[in-house]
Amino acid sequence: MQYYSELVLPRIIELACGSKRLVDWRKLATDQLFGRVAEIGFGSGANFGLYPSSVSKVIAVEPSRVAMRIFDKKMARQNIQSEVDIVRLRASAIALPLKDASFDCVLLSFVLCSVGDSATAMAEIKRILAPNGKVVFVEHGLAPTLGVQKVQFAFNRTEQRVAGGCQLVLDAKLIISNAGFEVSVIKTGYGPGPRPWGYMTVGVGVLS
């Protein structure tokens, strides 16, 4: 199981979450960023190239060595030079080795679904955000359509087992709101792929 989670799963996530069909959804989120950004769950760098010019630095937080290697290979293969200062940091969302109040934005993209202790992760995000900072997110989760919800609940445990703890029934807006943020939703709707895996929310949270 360790072999699967450490070596196989990051490649599956790269295929699923790195799809070009998700770029428009990701860009809706990254367009909200500015200043110093902590991207939690950087993965294999699917948001790389989407950061606006208002971003001065990105701390790319990612626990998986394999995901980071996939990113390095993509950069080398395409001979890409970053216009944004990116510093990689191998760490978990629930224990961020970052200074208090040191970031203007935190970016979450398809990561809350697989964080086992989302309350602790959000507490860490609050800690590292500057007073006027914001958390920007694009997440999949619980759909509003009853028929789709039934499928999501039916497959949720299987999804967690095969996809590194990923939950189909997550409500990202609720999690972020419960952490003390006032959330503004930019867009919701069904993205590409099967509906139980494709209900998306893009939003911004500021401390209320």
Instruction: Decide: 143 and 196 in contact? Cβ < 8 Å.
Output: yes
Mean pLDDT of 60-77: 86
Distance of CA 174 to CAs 79, 134, 142, 184, Å?
A: 40, 16, 11, 12
- Quote the distance between the C-alpha of residue 92 and its chain's center: 12
Residue numbers of the domain that contains 52: 2-207
Task: Kindly report the pTM of this predicted structure.
Answer: 0.92
The confidence score (pLDDT) of residue 1 equals 55
Does position 80 have pLDDT exceeding 70, yes or no?
no
The confidence score (pLDDT) of residue 146 equals 97
The confidence score (pLDDT) of residue 5 equals 63
The confidence score (pLDDT) of residue 162 equals 85
CATH code of the domain in which 48 resides: 3.40.50.150
The confidence score (pLDDT) of residue 84 equals 83
Does position 41 have pLDDT exceeding 60, yes or no?
yes
Does position 79 have pLDDT exceeding 70, yes or no?
no
Tally the domains of the chain. Answer: 1
Confidence class of residue 187 from pLDDT cuts 50, 70 and 90?
A: very high
